[in-house]
Amino acid sequence: MGRIAIVTDSSANLPAELVEKYDIHVVPLKVAFGERVFRDGVDLTSREFYRMLREADDLPVTSQPSPGEFEELYARLAPEVEAIVSIHISGALSGTVSSALAAKEAMPSLPIHVVDSRTTTIALGFIVLEAAQIAAAGGSLGEVLARVRGMIPKVTMYGVLDTLEYLRRGGRIGRAASLLGSVLQIKPIIYLNDGVVDALERPRTKARAVRRMLEIMEEKVGADPVHVAVLHADVPDEAEKLREEVASRFRCLEEPLVVELTPVLGTHSGPGVLGLSYYTGEDGGLERR
């Protein structure tokens, strides 16, 4: 383990091999179908979850980690490192960062730095990866925190939803609530606006929405080198097709990642989501992924 320990939560959607490679510590959120409680990304695979979601009469319930879970991890890490940087899902979407802060306040003698990423899924994952790479390379606490803070406004994420119903029922619809009164059958493009779900555009079909999502990304990045991930909820074939389009259309710094939304995220998005997360980079930058 390096001098700086990097902690995140399961909403970061990081592939297991990257978590292991960069020694990232992941605290799971939880999802419950009735009395059956599962740790996100630990006790339930995405495939099993989406099958259960489609068959369930009632929407599952999600919950954040307790402060005690963070305290236990922080106490275990503290003797081995100089500092802990704990980076989490937007506080507007989950109480996870509040639990981490409560744990920090209960352990004032430990060098813990808790960061609200104002985002989630692989956009959060990208921030965590950058922090972990700097830490693994022997970077200082100041360098890690500077990169994290610089990344938060830089990483972008869009998602095309099949329906707003899951966001509405889960209470995470945010500013996209304005779309609920529409009589149109739309496939909205959503994004996180300062950590809150918001509607970017409202195409009438999923194909148009995906095409428009790519156009918006192209308008933003142009010919700049870019790190990209494709995210999806139970539509792997569509995700692979989008990955191929991204790889051929943009100046990707490495092969785009493809990640499936974890059960906790899928509870609020529903199946059928297709999205992109990206940020611009430099040739010859940090090794990845």
User: What's the CATH number where 251 sits?
Assistant: 3.30.1180.10
Residues 211 and 264 in one domain: yes
Q: Is residue 113 part of a domain?
A: yes
What is the rounded CA–CA span in Å between residue 100 and residue 199? 29
Residues 93 and 163 in one domain: no
The sheet carrying 30-33 orders its strands as 36-39, 30-33, 61-63
Mean pLDDT (the chain) is 91
Residues 165 and 127 in one domain: no
Q: Which pLDDT does position 236 carry in this prediction?
A: 97
pTM passes above 0.95: no
Residues 147 and 160 in one domain: no
Q: Is residue 241 part of a domain?
A: yes
The closest of 248, 262, 244 to 38, measured between CA atoms, is 262
**What is the SS3 assignment for 216?**
helix
Examine the pLDDT at 283 and tell me if it is beyond 70: no
- How many DSSP H helices and E strands does the chain contain? 10, 13
Find the domain containing 166 and state its range: 156-280
Tokens of 201: 């555009």
pLDDT tens per residue across span 18-56: 999 999 999 999 999 999 999 999 999 888 999 999 898
The total of structural domains in the chain comes to 2
Residues 147 and 169 in one domain: no
Examine the pLDDT at 235 and tell me if it is beyond 70: yes
By residue count, the chain amounts to 289
Q: Is residue 42 part of a domain?
A: no
Residues 178 and 237 in one domain: yes
Residues 136 and 235 in one domain: no
Tokens of 197: 């779900």
Q: Is the model more confident about 179 or about 118?
A: 118
Q: Is residue 243 part of a domain?
A: yes
Span 126-146, mean pLDDT?
A: 97
